[in-house]
Amino acid sequence: MGSIIVLFELEPDGAIGAEGVEPAVIAVHAAGADPDVPEDPQPYTLCGRETGPMEHTHYRPTRPGESWYPSALADQRCQECERALRTL
């Protein structure tokens, strides 16, 4: 897999998050990049969930060794996606 796309699984009813502005993030997932359109995710996350209803974060680590997910959302990262990334 060349690169990953970071996606947010949002609260389905549109509940507002901690800052009171954005929808609440249930989980942060990772998906492979589509080989034909590298800015788009493949149809399923690394843990097997559909990516269609998720929000593309456009997050990219800025330096080597930085986590694949936004550090402020460490508690919401998908453990299954993380395990899958470790095996790549």
| Percent above pLDDT 70 for the chain | 86
Which is more confidently placed, 9 or 17? 9
Give the tokens for residue 7. Answer: 């996606």
d(CA 4, CA 14): 26
Of 48, 59, 55, the C-alpha closest to 81 is: 48
Nearest to 73 by CA among 8, 4, 3, 5: 8
Residue 35, Cβ density class (10 Å: 0-12 exposed, 13-18 middle, ≥19 buried): exposed
The 10s digit of each residue's pLDDT in 27-43 is 999 999 999 999 999 99
Is residue 69 scored above 90 in pLDDT?
yes
Largest CA distance in the chain: 37
- Confidence at residue 21, expressed as pLDDT on a 0 to 100 scale: 55
Q: What value does the mean pLDDT take over residues 55-73?
A: 92
